Chain A
């Protein structure tokens, strides 16, 4: 038993490494996607290190500099309470980017669970699950998120939940479709014929072979979720204003935008750059993961 586990541990990372290396090699050829990856990595790093590198405390008010435009001391200017926008945008990346990543991770995990059950078993199970997903998808995404955040109330965790619920059906559907294509293959039959358990077949054999479109979808999904989180905060339902989440920053500075346009320009630009980078990376990943899809 122990030996078996040790053997598996020794073999598995190696196999994963090569697959990962193959994708990375493909990705490295795609300059645009690499640019997206680099921008995204830089943003994550800046957000992570922000408490130590931001020039001003993100909550520090300086009434003398209220609504002051960009200067050498305050790169992106100051907001209505004299807080340094550059520091707030960097620190806000922690909230915006992590909301996107956490929400998408949750929806991917649930999507995989639901989708693999529906896709593998088919028949009535599939029918029931699909009809339930139909119901969730009959409510336009943004509206569903508004309703869920109304029920749960504002706040970071609640926003994450609201955002993840809405994107579960899409993920589940995608995995299910992939699974249906994959499950009639011979290697699955081989696994079944050696009395391999259902869970093991699904987890070890089917999911790894069905996951590539989900990775692409998840990358794009993070981008979309960041936008939607910002939208929710913008209308006052998501993360609440003193927190420097990008959407909340936009929402807080809307009333001052006539006197000081820079208040709304920089947080929005941060969202746009992040989304752009993630989309470029997603496009590149699609090409790298599935050469067939490339036109």
Chain B
């Protein structure tokens, strides 16, 4: 098992390096002269030239790439903002927790409600419970998260005045600021989770061991939770990884609606201000977070399914099971 974790962690290195190269290369094609963006259009040509040398823009691309890579991976420095000159890493560290809280709360709501909904649909296949939950799921997938956010703000903040429409708070009371953003972001993931749970529950629910368990006199809810759900969990966990990525991306937009000072507002604001080091650094950082999350999902498989654990331990077929 440890060997597998080690192997997966090693695999992350080329991926992260690749992401860095990819993002850096893309960002060099950004329109506009960085020196002019920093100094403004009124700067003299001499000042501009001096700034270009200071930023290393007079160097060839490969040299700049190598400098950037060594900054990022040896000095853990993603550079400074062009507009404010502030180092990016501390700002990310300050903002990242908010995005993570939003994403994780959303994930918990989505799977906390989606799995029971899916189970209900599967255990009442073709009855009204099934139809209602699947109609809800279809609607949930169809509604764009940012539109749902606007509608929820209209209802709960403007009409009813129950919840704050924007900003963040501190302490436990601060959690209320995350309710609307999380609700609006979770609809799609919740719906997908419910559909996935339903179909993978339906796959296992007619298996012989379920009949055996029932005939032994095991109570129905134990059969569903312990025997059926546990075996239906693998595809649901797979979905959790992809959902996390989507929710993280969705959080970018949701944050701008609710003015949550997280990574989304940071990166999108930087795009609009043409503050490219932030876009670059933020993207690389989020890609690393996402890769770690995917690794955790892979490890969760092993926790759920002893068969996979055995394969990881022997280290032979681990790769095959991953997909």
Contact = CB atoms under 8 A, between A and B. Distances in A.
Interface stretch (A41-49, A114-122, A181-189, A231-239): A231-239
Nearest to A234: B146
B15 A147 contact: no
B37 interface: no
Contact of B30 (A151, A261, A272): A151
A146 B290 contact: no
Given A227-B144, A279-B138, A140 B249 contact: yes
A268 B290 contact: no
A140 B26 contact: no
A103 B19 CA distance: 23
A146 B144 CA distance: 17
Interface stretch (A17-25, A64-72, A128-136, A201-209): A128-136
B202 interface: yes
Chain A contact-residue range equals 35 or more
A143 B138 contact: no
Interface in A234-250: 234-237, 250
8 contacts: A143-B248, A143-B286, A147-B23, A230-B147, A234-B146, A237-B268, A257-B150, A279-B141
Interface in A144-158: 146-151, 153
Contact of A237 (B144, B245, B271): B271
A275 interface: yes
Nearest to A36: B138
A114 to B, nearest CB: 16
A138 B287 contact: yes
Given A135-B15, A153-B31, A142 B22 contact: no
Interface stretch (B212-220, B231-239, B250-258): B250-258
A150 B150 CA distance: 25
Among all A-B residue pairs, the 6 with the closest Cβ atoms: A142-B249, A268-B147, A135-B18, A276-B142, A275-B142, A140-B245
Given A141-B249, A146-B271, 6 more contacts: A142-B250, A231-B146, A272-B142, A272-B143, A276-B142, A295-B202
B267 interface: yes
Interface in B32-87: none
A271 interface: yes
Contacts of A140: 245-246, 248-249, 286-287, 290
B253 A295 contact: no
Interface residues of B, number: 50
B249 A143 contact: yes
B272 interface: yes
Given A139-B19, A227-B144, A295-B203, A234 B139 contact: no
B154 interface: yes
Contacts of B19: 135, 138-139
A250 B23 contact: no
A43 B23 CA distance: 38
Interface of A: 131-132, 134-136, 138-143, 146-151, 153, 177, 223, 227, 230-231, 234-237, 250, 254, 257-258, 261, 264-265, 268, 271-273, 275-276, 279-280, 295
A146 B138 contact: no
Given A250-B147, A268-B144, A268-B147, A142 B15 contact: no
Contact of A272 (B14, B147, B158, B290): B147
B243 to A, nearest CB: 11
Nearest to A293: B199
Contact of A275 (B141, B245, B253, B291): B141
Contacts of A258: 154, 158
Contacts of B138: 276, 279-280
B283 interface: yes
Contacts of B268: 146, 235-237
B206 to A, nearest CB: 10
B253 A139 contact: no
Given A250-B147, A250-B150, A295-B202, A142 B23 contact: no
A235 B144 contact: no
Contact of A271 (B15, B22, B144): B144
B128 interface: no
Contacts of A257: 150, 153-154
A151 B26 contact: yes
A295 B232 CA distance: 15
